Chain A
């Protein structure tokens, strides 16, 4: 069963302003994770806000957990959890105050709200900070508390808008762990991200969006295959490039491409590891010692570039994918 369906959503801000959504359609199977991957301004937040009943689209339709978002927003709100792009908490109150307040607003009784707050603080390792005002929390702690607040009554469908943006690598790993747990618990998750690596890691299926439209859809593997299969890449000393290139061609049957600047030879292969072993053996016999050799699958970065024609904007230095993208630019 589909837990989230969006059809032909269109949304412009202001009169005749930017078209934030331009016929966006997507669907998410119950109990799975969809990663909505797109650069700044591509319409991720707008999509989430429409699905979470905060924003009315100009046209199009959507259902969440089988409920029509436009006709029955009140019913939708009972089954969703939302953690927006920026933590939305009462800064002057403590973590405990915030969670019990939201618990009461989810219509738990007083003792129920307290019990749930305690559980969540424990689950998100915030028990020690529970009695401190949010304004003393670090970015990562806020993010976790914000997520906790969206899980007070176990939602059927969860929306997380860039849950790890602004977190340091350790904070991201922690957040990924938390999200993994949630998904094991059976929630349907729509997650937006600018991090290709994150979508790869967390999502069962990925929708790449650009300028308010889904431009590609599939599992991480499918998207990578769309760009091309595995490649064998070898880096050697400059004076050995010619010999090595010949050997690679002999094994793969294709004329390899050579980048003399970084002394890299690369060629597409169909039976990756077998070719790798064969090439290594031939190189060894020819007394050529490669500086680097390996099989490379296209990264989601490659996918992104080949789909959108531009590089995903990534926050400086947070991930390997980002560096690759920058290098290629």
Chain B
């Protein structure tokens, strides 16, 4: 048991080392969401009448946070596909290490990367007027929630990365799925404008429940959601926890199995 913990920590450490050896990767991974914050804040911020205290940016920040951590899936998928392509996964598989070490190490590593990204984004948000008003404990919980969501999304990335085996394919596949998911949600605009059927979809969408949960934890009224009055939109924190639990419970065992059997 102790051995398998130290095994996955070695893999995680490898990722942190990569960040040090090529800092550009992390810098760009951070600049991109920071740019999103600025664009949305100043491009849509003027057009969308939010009606909440402190303005659109209060609603926007939870949306952008969730979008960013949802893309952990991409980081994981692309990273693993690259390792497959280079034959590194094969080498790991020929070592006497626990069968889950490589995939756990990867998901944890990608989550740690999120810590840095979230801190930078939070600071940028603060600079442009984001003021979470719920007190330090809830704010902390909000960030913890985000990290947990990113972590559970990361497991889907494991399966994609090990299945496609090719960095570029992974990249495209991921963008094609995650982008619609983040836009068919309450993250950036109210769901009222959507056809009723899409409103239901948007409210059951885990991205929406996460965004709603974060708005609650950061102390902003979620005026963008709950137009269809679905259960998840009324219990976003509970529903998000259920989603996260399901994601890990389903995809983690599949991922480990896949890793054990994967053969290039």
Contact = CB atoms under 8 A, between A and B. Distances in A.
Contacts of A55: 263
B17 A93 contact: yes
A252 interface: no
Contact of B7 (A74, A77, A105): A105
Interface residues of A, number: 30
A89 interface: yes
Contact of B88 (A52, A54, A78, A90): A90
B14 A106 contact: no
B246 interface: no
Contact of A88 (B22, B86, B96, B97): B86
A68 to B, nearest CB: 16
Contacts of A54: 90, 93-94, 263
23 contacts: A54-B90, A54-B263, A77-B95, A77-B96, A80-B94, A84-B87, A84-B91, A86-B86, A86-B87, A87-B87, A88-B86, A88-B87, A88-B88, A88-B90, A89-B88, A90-B18, A92-B18, A92-B22, A94-B21, A97-B21, A101-B10, A104-B10, A105-B97
Nearest to B14: A101
Interface of B: 3, 6-7, 10, 13-14, 17-18, 21-22, 86-88, 90-97, 101, 261, 263
Contact of A49 (B3, B10, B263): B263
Contacts of B91: 82, 84, 88, 102, 149
Nearest to B86: A88
Interface of A: 49, 52-56, 74, 77-78, 80, 82, 84, 86-94, 97, 101-102, 104-107, 133, 149
A136 to B, nearest CB: 11
Contacts of B22: 92
B10 A91 contact: no
A49 B6 CA distance: 26
A105 B95 contact: yes
A94 B22 CA distance: 11
A106 B96 contact: yes
B252 to A, nearest CB: 20
A93 B13 CA distance: 12
B18 A93 contact: yes
